[in-house]
């Protein structure tokens, strides 16, 4: 089925697979904005939901910050937000009600504010208040805009000394490298040679459970979201070593025939004890859960591995949508919820 290009085109009517293929180009995008701090930045808070916060998780693995950083997925902001906080209001649509609410509270607390959006009320608010606006190109789903957003925030952070010098150059170089890697997953590559198609077939008809170590946790989170929104598939994720302290035991009992598929995202750059935990967990749970599908991250750096693993998950989830007989792009249930919240 996944080698039938006509069928793929019919089901992927909005060309989500084409978007996935060209994501690497988003890392080269040059934004036009200016931000001058009004005082010392002692912490960073990003307010966003769903795909509009998805990319921010990457900063926990790469490149890291010299000040505390928190992602706030809420109507409010953390209690410590003040004039020394760099608050980033992030909403791809610009109309996310939680983010607009959090922005209002950040304003009350005198935070230093930057807005990231493709348009909507948030962009209007930035223009009215004179906030720096990182305007992301529109026309795609928020979950597929992560690489635009990564590029935009690195362009914000590097001049402020909040990420290591050369981070933007490293990001763009990794994007060029990734452009060659994704060619292995595009629709014209037959299933026999296409790891993303093969994995999608293994996941079909099952709830998907994704595990990783701390370094690849942002990619595991992206896999979960894309399984939900692209494939319309129930999925969740967790990371080791936390997994071994609770969820690990949950696999030990009933039901014996578990309707799940397990995916392990592994990296040779993880702590050696994390790697050993993956091996021991697989052995101790043998026969108690489905044998994990192991995805070994490719790349020489954690950034390359994060990007590679994230996009491999995009393609896998899109092919799973095709197998599920669905158009991967629309999220009609989310749109219905928003309308009913406004009624």
Q: Which residue numbers are catalytic?
A: 229, 245, 338
Contact status, residue 71 vs residue 48, Cβ threshold 8 Å: yes
Helix (H, G, I), strand (E, B) or coil at 138: coil
Contact status, residue 243 vs residue 280, Cβ threshold 8 Å: no
User: What is d(CA 275, CA 240) in angstroms, rounded to the nearest whole number?
Assistant: 9
DSSP state of 39: S
Name the residue with tokens 């990783």: 212
Contact status, residue 303 vs residue 213, Cβ threshold 8 Å: no
User: What is d(CA 263, CA 212) in angstroms, rounded to the nearest whole number?
Assistant: 9
Gyration radius of the chain over CA positions: 20
User: What is d(CA 30, CA 229) in angstroms, rounded to the nearest whole number?
Assistant: 28
Contact status, residue 26 vs residue 151, Cβ threshold 8 Å: yes
Nearest to 72 by CA among 63, 83, 85, 84: 85
């Amino acid at each position: 089925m996944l080698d039938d290009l006509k069928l793929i085109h019919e089901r992927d009517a909005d060309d989500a697979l084409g978007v996935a293929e060209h994501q690497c180009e988003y890392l080269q995008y040059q934004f036009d904005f200016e931000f001058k701090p009004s005082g010392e930045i002692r912490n960073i808070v990003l307010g966003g939901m769903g795909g509009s916060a998805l990319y921010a998780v990457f900063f926990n693995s790469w490149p890291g910050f010299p000040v505390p950083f928190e992602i706030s997925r809420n109507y409010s902001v953390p209690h410590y937000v003040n004039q020394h906080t760099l608050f980033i209001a992030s909403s791809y649509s610009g109309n996310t009600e939680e983010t607009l609410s959090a922005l209002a509270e950040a304003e009350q607390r005198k935070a230093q504010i930057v807005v990231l959006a493709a348009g909507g009320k948030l962009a209007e608010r930035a223009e009215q208040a004179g906030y720096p606006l990182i305007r992301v190109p529109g026309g795609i789903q928020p979950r597929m805009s992560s690489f635009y957003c990564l590029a935009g925030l690195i362009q914000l952070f590097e001049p402020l000394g909040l990420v290591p010098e050369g981070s933007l150059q490293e990001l763009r170089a990794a994007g060029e490298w990734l452009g060659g890697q994704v060619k292995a997953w595009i629709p014209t590559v037959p299933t026999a040679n296409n790891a993303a198609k093969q994995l999608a077939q293994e996941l079909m008809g099952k709830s998907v459970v994704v595990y990783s170590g701390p370094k690849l946790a942002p990619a595991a989170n992206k896999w979960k979201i894309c399984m939900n929104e692209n494939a319309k598939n129930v999925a969740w994720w967790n990371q080791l070593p936390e997994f071994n302290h609770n969820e690990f035991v949950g696999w030990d009992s009933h039901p014996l025939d578990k309707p799940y598929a397990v995916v392990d995202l592994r990296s040779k750059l993880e702590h050696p004890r994390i790697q050993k935990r993956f091996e021991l967990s697989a052995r101790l749970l043998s026969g108690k859960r489905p044998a994990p599908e192991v995805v070994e991250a490719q790349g020489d750096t954690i950034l390359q591995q994060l990007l590679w693993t994230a996009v491999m998950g995009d393609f896998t989830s899109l092919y799973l949508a095709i197998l599920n007989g669905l158009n991967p792009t629309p999220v009609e249930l989310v749109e219905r919820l928003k309308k009913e919240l406004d009624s």
